[in-house]
Structure 1
Amino acid sequence: MRALQWLNLTRHGESTGNLAWREAERAGAEDAGIPERDADVPLSDLGRAQAETLGRRLAALPPDERPTMVVSSPYLRALDTARIALGQTSWAAPAAPDGLRLRVDERLRDREQGVLQGLTARGVRRRFPAEAERAARLGKFYHRPPGGESWADLALRLRSFYRDLAADAPGGRVLVVAHDAIVVVTRYLVEELTEQEIMQIEKEPIGNCSLTRWQGDGGGALRPVCYNDSTHLTAPGGG
């Protein structure tokens, strides 16, 4: 990871699951009622528009900042975001002379929630009260729901991913298209933060199709450039 010239991360565009989750929270429901398995949740219409806007921002990058590798989570909402965004560029679209091959890595999948999958906070408290108490005692970073992953587990698989990435693309400029937890834990790893620091940062939601970037400083380290930047989506003409 430290050998990279640029590391860019984005969260997928708004998904139908995001919409269902917000509605469940507003209604005080226990379950978001998402019919698909997590890997198959698609983008909403807004999410597809956000991906197009993200692509136009990527298209405007200077040549020496353009990604030389794009890696996506295998989940549909991330894959479609990557495909739509790359299709907005003249240099990365599959039909372009130097079009980039979209790589997929299962280590970039969203954090697995196990038996708590699809449940709102209210649902967890009502259906798994003992688990809710255990989570409060252990803290969000180390709590592993039955059949799921803790944030520490996620950090372990991302360490493996970035170690391989640095070996495969030394000096490369990489775009990773994934999920909010992936963006947050990547910051934890790159900037060598503490549990307390990253759990404070995590309170700010990662925007759909926001952009987080680090640049190599020439000495082997990455320095932060922007985090959770959604200005391309809110500017006039944005998605």
Structure 2
Amino acid sequence: MKHLPIIALDFPSGQEALAFLEPFEGTPLFVKVGMELFYQEGPAILDALKEKDCRIFLDLKLHDIPTTVQKAMNRLAALGVDLVNVHAAGGKKMMHAAVEGLESGTPAGQSRPGIIAVTQLTSTSEDMMNKELLIDRPLQETVLHYGQLAYESGLDGVVCSVHESKVLHEHISPSFLTVTPGIRLPNDQTDDQKRVATPAFAKEQGVSQIVVGRSITKAENPKEAYHQILKEWE
């Protein structure tokens, strides 16, 4: 997987997302399409992004019964994206079904999309996890357990915070992908994220891929902010 920051295209419409990308014309990009944009535009936005030679992380976080997830992944496999995800909380049977769906839905001669599992959202604190979700374990222990389940289910990696990346690589595998949102430049606001970090710290922690949203998309000069993050990340 090419070592580029993943830009979160958290826009309400395809028109706004594509307008945002215009200054980046000719720059190799890896972008994330989340629920808001995909539910508004459907597969058409993916086609438009592929025309710009963008790599795509389709961030829909599937979480349902195994049969439903398998059939959904079968359809997503045909969309030509590079990375998809599920919630690890769906369990091993569901995650294994997701991999099966991707493999059966991938057109002949093509590699299936990478698949990762969300452990705990970076908006989740340990206090919230204990008191609201009634998971009475330390946050890092829970993330590691979910990561192990994902690995045993045949997934390629997980979504986690920067702060859990190192322990996942140590206990599971150095090649197991850790994809980390919550990336901010030093002077940026944390917004609704709880477990945040800079690109430089993410690199120190051995993170596989970083996902950056508002630090780029809300910057006064997004292209300049992107290259600042890229410089720190590289």
For the aligned pair, the TM-score class normalised by the smaller chain equals 0.3 to 0.5
Q: TM-score normalised to the size of structure 1? A: 0.33
Question: Which is greater in Rg?
Answer: 1
